[in-house]
Chains A and B, each alone.
Chain A
Amino acid sequence: MQPFKYTRAADAGGAVAAVFGNRETKFIAGGTNLLDLMKEGVENPAALVDVTRLNLAQIRSTSSGISIGAVAKNTDTANHPLVRRDYPLLTQAIAAGASAQIRNMATNGGNLMQRTRCSYFYDVSTPCNKREPGSGCGAMEGINRTHAIFGWSDKCIAVHPSDMAVALAALNASVSVQGKDGKTRVIAFADFHRLPGDTPEKDNTLEHGELITSIEIPKNSFNHSYYLKVRDRASYAFALVSVAAAMETKGGVINGEPRIAMGGVAHKPWRALAAEKYLAGKKASEENFTAAADAEMKQAKPLEHNKFKVELGKRAIVHALMRANGMA
């Protein structure tokens, strides 16, 4: 690991100032991903600013919903009474990720900032446009079983690893960030993570030095939700495909637009908008769920080794919707 200077930030303004001035400086919170990447030589910051002690760990209800502090731990967020009661989808998604030890360390802001687990990104001996822009993509012609089926580019086919972010996408959350002028900028969740395009080195739309301060989730009237995660082993593995589903039904009919987001299929949490559109106002039935899943998955563009994700994704959407509605 490359030597780095470590400082502990006293307040958010100081933390932003310390990072903004230097491209080689990064924030560190739980460190569960960053430290690993530093050991691998993927990330080589010259300085780290520890934000874990900032006063950004509150979870509180607001007039519009709930606000979740950026440095609140994943465990504390998932188990918070307000989250469990009003956003059980988020609780489930967090609990589906990583292990108890890692959830105890990982923060909410850090969860959104974690980087892809693409093995070519991790292996510094292989080309990777995300790690080293312009070097090429090892996965494109390599083993791409775990890679994207939606929204990839010829520069990058990596997927975003977070479960929590998939639920936040379905819940129409937004991300509050503090910039160098001390002002808060609010980024809609759909605009926070990005597709790779020609610049896969950028995972999200944050500017260097901007600090996530909280995540806001609006109120909802969902009476059915479920987070389904399908992986190679029963627990403690990244998703091959995951589905966050939430909806309100009245008399067995879907009221308004349901929300469906997918993990493990794209460079960002993937909102299944075609499936959502199909289901709006329809009866909550297996037949309709299947048709909605078909509508979404027919847009998929699988790679050489991940064609299975198309059928898996279809079945996962149907199963998640069935589970959400107590029909499976």
Chain B
Amino acid sequence: MGKELESEPVLTEEEAFLAREGEVSTTPSAEAAATRPNQGGELNEMSTTVVTEAAATPPNQGGELLVEPIDYQYIAPCMDPREDHYIPPYAGPGEVSGELGAGSSDAVAEEQMSSDEERLLDELGVFGESRRKFLGQSAAVGLGALALQVIAEEKAFGFTDAEILAREPAALENAVTVALKVNGASKSLEVDSRMTLLDAVRERLGLTGSKKGCDHGQCGACTMIVDGRRVLSCLTLAAQCEGRDVTTIEGLAKGEALHPMQAAFIKHDGFQCGFCTPGQICSAVALMQEAKNGEVSYVTADVRQKTGAITLSDEEIRERMSGNLCRCGAYPNIAAAIKEVHTGKATDAVAGMIIEEVKHAAV
């Protein structure tokens, strides 16, 4: 034990691992050595430093192992009804893949992908610049293979209008016709009066990003944003949504760019199995607006005090996100992702504390 401590240069477990993987130089930087406490292989901010350095000295070509700064100006297309929505093309998988390879500059990045990953990005409709950015972020923060696979199961875009029509039941005992907007696109559906908004969006519109967790309003996996407010779609009748403006996880990305909250969840590894993630992200996006509105929570110190926009403490974020359960226990990373988007400053994943300003800005 003591002998190991004396040997120089000393590598943390992570550095050693990354070195084996050919990701970083085996010589730790002076900065890294200086901040290293007394070994123990603790997972602290070291990991961030290592990744940053790896990117700074282009490791194994590509030069794309970058964590792009997130555009914090862009928060939520769904919050202002007057703002133009990104309207998903509602193209079937075949049509989407028809656009594949549009940009030859993608070739380098794509070479490094597994077939699963390729399929994922195709289905997500992530092309060109975003595709490289997505890859860079995934690689840099270690988006798990499992998460990739889970996301790959989902189609990013729903059914075409023809497909929606084809799925209309022949006869309904208590049919209700509902016209609503989903991710900016006007939809008209004839639904059974019992159908929830969640089921309508998943089964009838083919947007399966929103998840059915408990179906009883206890988990938050089905969270959608309706008329700018986060709600539980499993406890909302589709019939009650006439004229409503619904945003689901599929509607958050703007064009080819991930919503900052989506990017932050990936960067901070704010999930393991990913099942609660669409609800978590929709909930968090709506929370950003609630903070801007200065809305109260149970842990607000003095509700009488009139405030404008508020800065949420860690305690406030936890309280205000309590309607979204995560059985994997990714809470610290979820809170860190939300705090990063909320404050615009890079946060430490473990403590959710603000660490030195955007380490990856050096990249």
A88, B305: Cα distance in complex, Å: 10
Contact A6 B193 (CB under 8 A): yes
Contact A84 B296 (CB under 8 A): yes
A229, B283: Cα distance in complex, Å: 24
Does A4 sit at the interface, judged by CB under 8 A?
A: yes
Does A308 sit at the interface, judged by CB under 8 A?
A: no
A48, B229: Cα distance in complex, Å: 24
Query: Which of B14-22, B31-39, B216-224, B262-270 is near enough to bind chain A?
Result: B216-224
Chain A residues with Cβ below 8 Å from B296 are 78-79, 84, 91-92, 95
Chain B, 120-153, contact with A by CB distance < 8 Å: what is the 0/1 string?
0000000000000000000000000000000000
Contact A4 B240 (CB under 8 A): no
Chain A residues with Cβ below 8 Å from B235 are 31-32, 35-36, 102, 105
Chain A residues with Cβ below 8 Å from B288 are none
Tally chain B residues at the interface, Cβ within 8 Å: 42
Chain B residues with Cβ below 8 Å from A5 are 174, 193
Give the interface centre of A1, A101, A234 by most chain B CB atoms within 10 Å: A101
Q: Which of B217, B237, B319 contacts A6 (CB 8 A)?
A: B237
Chain B residues with Cβ below 8 Å from A85 are 304, 306
Chain A, 62-84, contact with B by CB distance < 8 Å: what is the 0/1 string?
00000000000001001101001
A141, B2: Cα distance in complex, Å: 62
Chain B residues with Cβ below 8 Å from A99 are 220, 322-324
A48, B193: Cα distance in complex, Å: 9
A85, B217: Cα distance in complex, Å: 31
A92, B303: Cα distance in complex, Å: 7
Chain A residues with Cβ below 8 Å from B27 are none
Give the interface centre of B223, B229, B240, B306 by most chain A CB atoms within 10 Å: B240
Does A251 sit at the interface, judged by CB under 8 A?
A: no
Number of A-B residue pairs, CB cutoff 8 Å, is 109
Q: Which of A40, A48, A101 contacts B231 (CB 8 A)?
A: A101
Chain A residues with Cβ below 8 Å from B237 are 6, 28, 31, 35
Chain A residues with Cβ below 8 Å from B66 are none
Does A135 sit at the interface, judged by CB under 8 A?
A: no
Contact A75 B229 (CB under 8 A): yes
Contact A31 B173 (CB under 8 A): no
Does B44 sit at the interface, judged by CB under 8 A?
A: no
Given contacts A6-B193, A102-B232, A104-B230, contact A88 B303 (CB under 8 A): yes
Q: Which of B229, B230, B287, B323 contacts A236 (CB 8 A)?
A: B323
A4, B306: Cα distance in complex, Å: 45
A31, B225: Cα distance in complex, Å: 17
Does A96 sit at the interface, judged by CB under 8 A?
A: yes
Does B117 sit at the interface, judged by CB under 8 A?
A: no
CB distance from A217 to the nearest CB of B (A): 16
Chain A residues with Cβ below 8 Å from B242 are 8
Contact B216 A102 (CB under 8 A): no
Does A52 sit at the interface, judged by CB under 8 A?
A: yes
Q: Which of B216, B287, B293, B304 contacts A79 (CB 8 A)?
A: B293
Overall SS of chain B's interface: loop
Chain A, 24-43, contact with B by CB distance < 8 Å: what is the 0/1 string?
00001001100110011000
Given contacts A100-B230, A104-B231, A235-B318, contact A6 B297 (CB under 8 A): no
CB distance from B237 to the nearest CB of A (A): 6
Does A142 sit at the interface, judged by CB under 8 A?
A: no
A235, B216: Cα distance in complex, Å: 17
Does B300 sit at the interface, judged by CB under 8 A?
A: yes
Contact B232 A32 (CB under 8 A): yes
Q: Quick one: which of A298-320 are within 8 Å of B by CB?
A: none
Chain A, 220-252, contact with B by CB distance < 8 Å: what is the 0/1 string?
000000000100001110000000000000000
Chain B residues with Cβ below 8 Å from A52 are 240
A81, B308: Cα distance in complex, Å: 12
Q: Which of B215, B232, B302 contacts A101 (CB 8 A)?
A: B232
Given contacts A4-B174, A6-B174, A95-B296, contact A32 B320 (CB under 8 A): no
- Chain B residue with Cβ nearest A34: B235
Contact A96 B295 (CB under 8 A): no
Does B239 sit at the interface, judged by CB under 8 A?
A: yes
- Chain A residue with Cβ nearest B290: A100
- Chain B residue with Cβ nearest A163: B298
Chain A residues with Cβ below 8 Å from B324 are 99
Q: Which of B216, B229, B287, B323 contacts A39 (CB 8 A)?
A: B216
Contact B232 A105 (CB under 8 A): yes
Q: Quick one: which of A92-137 are within 8 Å of B by CB?
A: 92, 95-96, 98-102, 104-105
Q: Quick one: which of B299-326 are within 8 Å of A by CB?
A: 300, 302-304, 306, 318-320, 322-324
Chain B, 57-93, contact with A by CB distance < 8 Å: what is the 0/1 string?
0000000000000000000000000000000000000
Does B176 sit at the interface, judged by CB under 8 A?
A: yes
A102, B323: Cα distance in complex, Å: 8
A8, B193: Cα distance in complex, Å: 12
Given contacts A52-B240, A105-B232, A105-B236, contact A84 B304 (CB under 8 A): yes
CB distance from B291 to the nearest CB of A (A): 11
A75, B223: Cα distance in complex, Å: 16
- Chain B residue with Cβ nearest A40: B216
Contact A95 B300 (CB under 8 A): yes
Does B187 sit at the interface, judged by CB under 8 A?
A: no
- Chain A residue with Cβ nearest B224: A101
Chain B residues with Cβ below 8 Å from A236 are 322-323
Does A50 sit at the interface, judged by CB under 8 A?
A: yes
Chain B residues with Cβ below 8 Å from A40 are 216
Given contacts A4-B174, A4-B194, A79-B293, contact A101 B283 (CB under 8 A): yes
Contact B298 A235 (CB under 8 A): yes
The 6 closest A-B pairs by CB, nearest first: A99-B323, A235-B322, A6-B193, A236-B322, A104-B229, A95-B298
10 CB contacts below 8 A, A to B, read: A4-B193, A6-B176, A35-B196, A35-B236, A39-B215, A95-B296, A95-B298, A100-B323, A101-B231, A234-B322
Besides the known contacts A32-B235, A91-B303, A105-B235, 20 further A-B residue pairs in the complex with CB atoms under 8 A apart: A1-B194, A3-B174, A5-B193, A6-B174, A8-B242, A28-B240, A35-B235, A48-B193, A78-B296, A84-B304, A85-B304, A88-B304, A95-B296, A100-B287, A100-B320, A101-B223, A101-B231, A104-B229, A229-B298, A235-B319
